[in-house]
Structure 1
């Protein structure tokens, strides 16, 4: 996998909004724990689908275009809305049949670091495969990619744009998902107060948040799964929720620990992304914390990392204050002018 360093001018060329992954500092933080949480300076793009500004711009148009749904009334942002942390503020998203889906829409955030496992159950091995799933799923956008090709080829500007971005390829199922995946890889959480603290600004977060960070990595054991700058191990765990959805277990029926297991979500921009859990069953961060304090339902599949915690209400409040420091300012995402 090749890593591409983004210049602001390149980002601006790809989309109307601009973001930076992290500012530069002359002195690096010597504390090993803080270093483990420092934001990367580059976005990784796979060699088989390298970044270009034009491809990202095309992918953004497709992401917001309702013509990629059967009834032409939905787009990717219907379930993954930038105004709500790239999710939607309901328990589960609503699909093409105007019915709630079985799971909450996972955030389309920092997916460039997805580690070859996408969706709550990890059934997609690449972002390209992930982009294909919701478009074709009957209960979601309900449009076979073969039909999407016909629709897009009938739009003169799209036909021209695809030929420019994919010379000799044009509009195909493969190029559609490659463009969308490229845009999705540019969706990166904004620089948060926590990042400023990691980079040396001791006043960037409160004393409560600092205590919460220590607890997060210590007595609360949160860092056992929510690791690194993106706060996820990209693995699957049964955390003891009251659900009949076996999650990863459908893909690994003979693995007891895969039953009721779901992918660890990022905690980046978590304050913008209520409700929580794979099924949207917990409305607040307080409810999330008290679920973990209780240890969840004890069963053979429950993760060995899930154990009841001895935390005071004050300590829980500190951890929540820390998690809130992971949310930066909302990014302004300008809607693209769609081809016609």
Structure 2
């Protein structure tokens, strides 16, 4: 681990505890309407570390507000990219995505005429939204039972922990007073303190009656839906960037920002995937499809070194450094993924080869949100890039600059390593954009206008 790891983890954990405590006080001392109740509940669920196997990791550990609800620990963004789970020696295989604007994604579907999957959540689209008709709610249900994330062995453990939460009453107010009328087995505490995965011969180790299992399933669905409602709220998806004030006619871009926006919509082809909407639309800067950009493998990804069994006998990555993340194709091949998300359509398995190497096109909103100008974020599914300048330079020169090995002098400036997976490579919208260095900088300048929380200067507001 980086030298500053323990200190940074302690800082994030303290901030999570503070946010949870402040939210609990708001619930206690304010009369809330129905919408506010659901939003507050969703927020509490995201900031409750007790919903993990060792009661030490909230969902928000990987998704903090000051970084646009993505990774808040700079030393990890620079090195391992993915974040440790509740079992601290386990890391996932991808960079944390942002929660912001995630609920706007449609239910995953295949457009045969377009030849594309559209919608869903997660880098590989596996939170399809089919069951709840809500991709972001199903995304929220993934981490609690993922062995390399929050690590609970059974989704019923979420209901058990919630039945003892200080905000249980709020949950019952929102979802029904009978939510936790469940007969828990005597060993439930022990079972829920045992990291996932569950034993191969005992998929649901919290042994419940059929009726009680159905009730815990409803609690788990309510958990996801409340989180999605909070992510939909103006606190997480506010549309308050400088870009929005410019579109509302309350401000103007600087000349560099204006040039960047023109390039974004024209020569640089960014707008072909990161759509900024049309008349009357709320621009989300994504088309909800997936693409293989040819991003190089990131040798710093901790997941590459999780090939040996850990102290509990679990092997996160049997392939070790040879592992290749094939993205959407991997999800489509399996009717059930590691963290429980289902491929809802067996016919999609036949489409998997066309989507190997592809990852979801993320929104660009808040792509530059950070607590300070020098804070380092990671970009793309594997966090290979560490700045927007690197990203734009890659789009511009991927197919122009010579190849080099990872760590070679000039990497990311005058040469690029080979793609991690060259299958289904996008050659239409990037690779040789013929942008000048100044034009690259202009695009970066425009991307920074997509950060929420912008305040219009008084002299300009009076225009």
The reply to whether TM is greater than 0.5 is yes
1:52 CA displacement? 2.4
Q: Which has the higher contact order (CA 8 A, sep 6+)?
A: 1
Summarize the Cα distance change of 1:305–1:267 in structure 2 as closer, same or farther, 3 Å threshold: same
Q: Which residue of 1 aligns with 2:122?
A: 119
Q: Indicate yes or no: 2:267 matched with 1:219.
A: yes
Q: Identify unmatched segments of 5+ residues in structure 1.
A: 1-12, 17-50, 332-340
Q: Identify unmatched segments of 5+ residues in structure 2.
A: 1-22, 27-33, 108-119, 129-134, 181-218, 277-282, 298-323, 334-350, 371-376, 400-417, 456-463
Contact 2:85-2:91 within 8 A present in 1 as well: yes
1:168 CA displacement? 5.0
Q: Indicate yes or no: 2:381 matched with 1:278.
A: yes
Contact 2:24-2:167 within 8 A present in 1 as well: no
1:131 CA displacement? 0.9
1:328 CA displacement? 2.9
Bigger CA radius of gyration: 2
SS in 1 for 2:167: helix
Q: Which residue of 1 aligns with 2:187?
A: none
Structure 1 residues 79-88 or 302-311, which shifts more? Answer: 302-311
CA distance in 2, matches of 1:105, 1:291: 21
1:134 CA displacement? 0.3
CA distance in 2, matches of 1:199, 1:321: 19
Structure 1 residues 87-96 or 237-246, which shifts more? Answer: 87-96
Q: Which residue of 2 aligns with 1:308?
A: 432
Q: Which residue of 2 aligns with 1:180?
A: 227
Q: Indicate yes or no: 2:65 matched with 1:82.
A: yes
Contact 2:396-2:430 within 8 A present in 1 as well: no
Q: Which residue of 1 aligns with 2:312?
A: none
1:201 CA displacement? 3.4
Q: Which residue of 2 aligns with 1:247?
A: 327
Give RMSD over aligned pairs.
2.4
CA distance in 2, matches of 1:65, 1:182: 16
Summarize the Cα distance change of 1:209–1:108 in structure 2 as closer, same or farther, 3 Å threshold: same
Contact 1:15-1:60 within 8 A present in 2 as well: no
CA distance in 2, matches of 1:326, 1:59: 25
Summarize the Cα distance change of 1:265–1:245 in structure 2 as closer, same or farther, 3 Å threshold: same
Contact 1:215-1:315 within 8 A present in 2 as well: yes
Structure 1 residues 69-78 or 86-95, which shifts more? Answer: 86-95
Q: Which residue of 1 aligns with 2:292?
A: 238
CA distance in 2, matches of 1:293, 1:257: 25
SS in 2 for 1:270: coil
SS in 2 for 1:106: coil
SS in 1 for 2:83: coil
